[in-house]
Structure 1
Amino acid sequence: MADRFSRRTFLTALGASVIPVATLAEAPLVSLRPVLRGAQLTGAERVVQSANLSGDVVFAVADVKTGVPLEVFGGDRGLPPASVAKALTALFALDVLGPDYRFETALVADGTIENGILDGDLVLVGGGDPLLDTDDLATLAANLRKVGITEVRGAFKVYDGALPYVNSIDPGQPDHLGYSPAISGISLNFNRVHFEWKKEGSSYNVSMDARTAKYKPAVDMASMKIENRSLPIYTYQPSARQDRWTVAKGALGKGGARWLPVRKPALYAGDVFRTLARVNGIVLGRVQVTRETPKGTVLATHQSDPLDSILRGMLKYSTNVTAEMVGMAASKARGVPVHSLLDSAAEMNRWATETFGVDGIAMVDHSGLGDASRMAPSDLVAVLVAARHSKELRPLLKPFALTDSNGRPVKNHPIKVDAKTGTLNFVSGLGGFLTTADGAEFAFAIFTADVDHRATIPRALRERPDGARSWNRRSRKLQRALIERWGALYGS
């Protein structure tokens, strides 16, 4: 176990909670409980009540220096954390893999090479890089030519066995949502394919490609058929070698584009690499997917950015693929068998218990997309307090803007917040750190969820269900009100 998040560090921080609360100026411990009708409400209870949220609200805040909890509301009760879970995943990956860890994608020759001819197989070897894109594959293809390869007489294979295959991060999401694609040991463009349509007369010109700013290679492994209907907008049907989509003509308008999820990541990466290799004069055979560890000569490699940079982007843009891939890589590095996201999340839960002594974290994935995950705010705050002593997490978190009564960001607000947000329909979370005007620093977690109502939403309507936007907007307003309260109450 790495030293940066040792159990000793955590217990030392919490051990300070035996310090008399009176030593904290204006910082009484308040353990809030539901009150009887007619009883006098505390300040925090009034804030919660004014939010007019259906479902549940839980939160906790603690002093970073001492670990003393300052205010707790249902803090031991777990709710879905949504993408706030990515903060825990970041700590897990940093602890197990280290901030300088890099993922590697390689081209391996399984055969002899003579006069530029590979008499054997060429293998594109995925190494779990969550940021691999078409530009990177283009560089690999160019480097393959630079090392002298002009012809491959054997098969072209893609190895995706570095991580387990997962068909969808959350199978409860509609098929067409790009933030719940497949996961495997190779990922390209966050396992999304670009679908674009343009009206030409009474018909449409449709394209499916793996575009970046530099390249726009068409793909064969994903197809789109326009059908004369209004609903459903999209349908998906898998085949052995294709993701087959249909789209309702009545929904297309004059033109547009969106990213669709990829369910066959190895075929996708192989399809694109074949095109880029052909640009360099190298003709490859039909893509074959393998999960057998390749052997042979390494011809070219691509290394990812260091892990801390990857995690900063993950926390800023809340990329689910990144969270799942780095989380599974960390679980595998701990030497446990990982066959699914649930296996890997269970290993992260064990790590959290071993490292921080918490028992209210029960994740089913690493991204927070699955609403069956549960996290208690008091446990997350305890983790954040311990992690703050390592000084590695807060610099990776995105600044969180506080707003005025009209919802406009307040420039130079005296309270500075760095946090991870989390949003699902009828689920909202926020967790991180705040620093008051006088320099006091606190760790906090706020979770809100109407789990019962969310469960009634049909799968097909989970992209934009009725009432979700206004509910989540009220939740975000509550989060800001609580932060303002803590800054005023405990910051002087």
Structure 2
Amino acid sequence: MTNRRSFLRNSLAAGLWAAVSANVAQANAPLVSLRPLARAGGPLGADANGGLLGLLQRAGLPGRAVCAVADVKTGKRLEEAGGTTALPPASVAKALTALYALDTLGAGHRFSTELVATGPVSGGVLQGDLVLSGGGDSMLSTDDLAQLARSLKTAGIREVRGDFRVWSGALAEVDTIDPGQPDHVGYSPAISGIALNFNRVHFEWKRGSGGWNVAMDARTAKYKPGVTMARMKIAQRKTPIYTYADKGGVDQWTVASAALGKGGARWLPVRRPAAYAGDVFRTLARSHGVILGAPKRAKLAPRGQVVAVHQSPELAVMLKGMLKYSNNLMAEMIGLSASRARGVAAKTLAQSASEMNRWAADRFGMTQTKLVDHSGLGSKSRMTPNDLVGALVVAHRDGQLKPLLKPFALRDSQGRIVKGHPIKVAAKTGTLNFVSGLGGFVTAQDGRELAFAIFTADEDARAGISRANRERPQGARSWNKRAKQLQQQLIERWDAVYGR
């Protein structure tokens, strides 16, 4: 399993972010806070009560817990436990992806989605194909496609004599981020050079007098175009709740009748992004009087006249949202785009992640980090606390990462957020079943700034989960709650012991 602000440019995007938050990581803040440790005069009190190892042992968290902390100004490592032990970082990996993209693409980079006419336009008639060309924009929405459809009229195109095509080949085409995840989870969709609504389709059901009415659409706050490339059938069964199959070029879903109740809705992953974007654009173009044929795949990047273009927000804005909401699709598409810009035409996420690993080793000395993707969803990724802390120290000096990280709220013994808490934390969380990570920056009560990394994992418990049960496995929620308690204990320790 794996912040949203008004930086999103319109209400549609805000609505899409709201949908993302319902499907990605569970709560990322500790639910319980221990009373802060009494200050012990700085490092002289580091060994009190058994020191760091004593704290970790008293936590009694099944599996392994490793961590490291350093002073950001000097880079001095203050303490560590298992600092060279590599564990799954989960979504903490996205912090490294953000640094990779900033270093490669630049904070002001934008991704473009274009409409390309491959022939001349005369008298409002395009004598050629119209191509919807994806450029890696992971925030493309139905509203954005609606604006592109309106732009056809502005460009004077009323009819297209050729085919309507979609090009998605700018990035690797991947069926799902992590094949080990259940088919129906929205946080592991397909990836390609074009993505719409975070490659998720909205499934809604309502109980009527004659049974259930179901709908599949690409809704936003402004539009609700139905889709034909994804279909749902109700099956008379209790389990499994969902099944998926690619039948005749259609995402064919079934849902168990026993799970529906009176009504509801959820976002399901899209496995055929080009077909999805083409399906929706075709509907929106028709609303402006432009009749297009069924979308076809473009094998090569289109050449011709660009008649309309949509640009994403600047990369820094996208990364702030990606980190806040831990959006896996954004991390993968941005990471793939960075690798492509470095001359690596990766065909898999692992190939792109390998390039990022090489970059991280050269840039930060992260020689023990081996990631298999850019989001951290793949459980085979490994990162050490020492590696991450070293990178965070350098990143703090550069000043690019910390402003993008989400404030991490500390809580009281009742699980309530303590407003105005004297310890300030900006960090990236990471959550998988029986895996929890946290990495970022602590500003102690006296103003001293620290870089830290905490990784915890019960890999034996995780290995025992069947694929069908990975959305909500038994015991994972309580384990993750205890892991987050430990994270706060460690932060409070570092403030008490290493704050000047």
Q: Give your verdict on TM over 0.5.
A: yes
Alpha-carbon distance between aligned partners in 1 of 2:43 and 2:175, rounded to the nearest angstrom = 48
State how 1:469-484 maps to structure 2 within 5 Å.
Answer: 469-484=477-492
4+ residue runs of structure 1 moved beyond 3 angstroms? 27-30
Question: Matches of 1:273 and 1:244 in 2, distance apart?
Answer: 20
Counterpart of 2:247 in structure 1 is 239
2:452 is aligned to 444
How many angstroms apart in 1 are the aligned matches of 2:441 and 2:182?
34
SS at match of 1:454: helix
After superposition, where does 1:306-325 map in structure 2 within 5 Å? 306-325=314-333
Rounded to whole Å, the distance in 2 between the matches of 1:28 and 1:273 is 65
**Structure 1 unaligned runs (5+)?**
1-24, 33-39
Aligned to 1:261: 269
Query: Do residues 423 (structure 1) and 431 (structure 2) align?
Result: yes
Q: Aligned pair 1:166/2:174, yes or no? A: yes
1:154 to 154, 157, 162: 162
- The match for 1:140 is 148
Aligned to 1:187: 195
CA shift in 2, pair 1:47/1:201, >3 Å: farther
Deviation for aligned residue 1:42: 2.1
SS in 2 for 1:421: strand
- Of 197, 206, 224 in structure 1, the residue corresponding to residue 232 of structure 2 is 224
How far is 1:50 from its partner? Answer: 2.7
Aligned counterpart, 1:292: 300
Match of 1:271 among 255, 279, 283: 279
Identity %: 63
What's the CA shift for 1:146?
Answer: 1.2
Correspondences of 1:75-474 after superposition (within 5 Å): 75-474=83-482
Distance 2:62 2:477 in 1: 13
Q: Partner letter of residue 291 of structure 1?
A: K
Deviation at 1:41, TM superposition (A): 6.7
3-state secondary structure, aligned to 2:205 = strand
Superposed CA offset, 1:25-58 (max 9, x none): 833797x9xxxxxxx9722223222322111101
Letter in 2 for 1:79: L
For residues 301 and 345 of structure 2, what CA distance do their matches in structure 1 show?
16
Distance 1:137 1:453 in 2: 44
Distance 2:309 2:479 in 1: 47
Distance in 1 (CA, whole Å) between partners of 2:197 and 2:43 is 48
Alignment match, 2:36: none
Q: CA deviation at 1:352?
A: 0.2
Spell out, residue by residue over 1:203-254, the C-alpha distance to the aligned partner (whole angstroms, 9 max, x if none): 1010000011111100000000001000000000112421000000000001
User: Structure 2 CA distance, aligned partners of 1:202 and 1:60?
Assistant: 61
The C-alpha deviation readout for 1:126-168, integer Å capped at 9, x for no partner, is 0000000000000000011111100001000000010010000
Other structure's SS at 2:437 match: strand
Q: Distance in 1 between matches of 2:314 and 2:133?
A: 19
Question: Does the 8 Å CA contact 2:42/2:496 hold for their aligned counterparts?
Answer: no
Paired residue for 2:22?
Answer: none
- Is the 8 Å Cα contact of residues 94 and 376 (structure 2) preserved in structure 1? yes
Q: CA deviation at 1:70?
A: 0.7
Map of 2:27 onto structure 1: none
Task: Say which of 29, 43, 53 aligns to 1:45.
Answer: 53
TM-score by length of 1: 0.92
Q: Is the contact between residue 52 and residue 474 of structure 1 (CA under 8 Å) also seen in structure 2?
A: no
For 1:319 and 1:302, locate their aligned partners in 2 and report how far apart those are by CA, in whole Å. 21
Q: CA deviation at 1:202?
A: 4.7
Any idea what SS the aligned residue of 1:286 has? Answer: coil
Quick one: distance in 2 between partners of 1:445 and 1:179?
24
Offset of 1:467 from its aligned partner?
Answer: 0.2
Q: Deviations over 1:450-485 (max 9, x none)?
A: 111101110000000000000000000000010001
State the 1:291 CA deviation: 3.2
* Structure 2 CA distance for aligned equivalents of residues 96 and 287 of structure 1: 34
Query: Which of 74, 78, 82 is 2:82 aligned to?
Result: 74
1:294-327 C-alpha deviation (Å, 9 max, x unpaired)? 1000000000000000000000100000000000
Distance across 2 between alignment mates of 1:83 and 1:252:
31
Alpha-carbon distance in 2 for matches of 1:404, 1:69: 29
Q: How far off is 1:430 after superposition?
A: 0.3
Q: How many residues align?
A: 460
> For residues 473 and 291 of structure 1, what CA distance do their matches in structure 2 show?
48
- Distance across 1 between alignment mates of 2:430 and 2:451: 16
User: 1:27 aligns to what?
Assistant: 43
For residues 227 and 59 of structure 2, the distance between their equivalents in structure 1, rounded to whole angstroms, comes to 48
SS at match of 1:42: helix
- TM-score if structure 2 supplies the norm length? 0.91
- Mapped partners of 2:248, 2:426: distance in 1: 45
8 Å CA contact retained: 2:117, 2:130: yes
Shift in Å at residue 411 of structure 1? Answer: 1.2
* Cα distance in 2 between the residues matched to 1:469 and 1:122: 49
* AA matched with 1:295: R
CA contact (8 A) 2:201 2:216 kept: yes
Displacement of 1:65 in angstroms is 0.3
- Secondary structure of the 1:204 match is strand
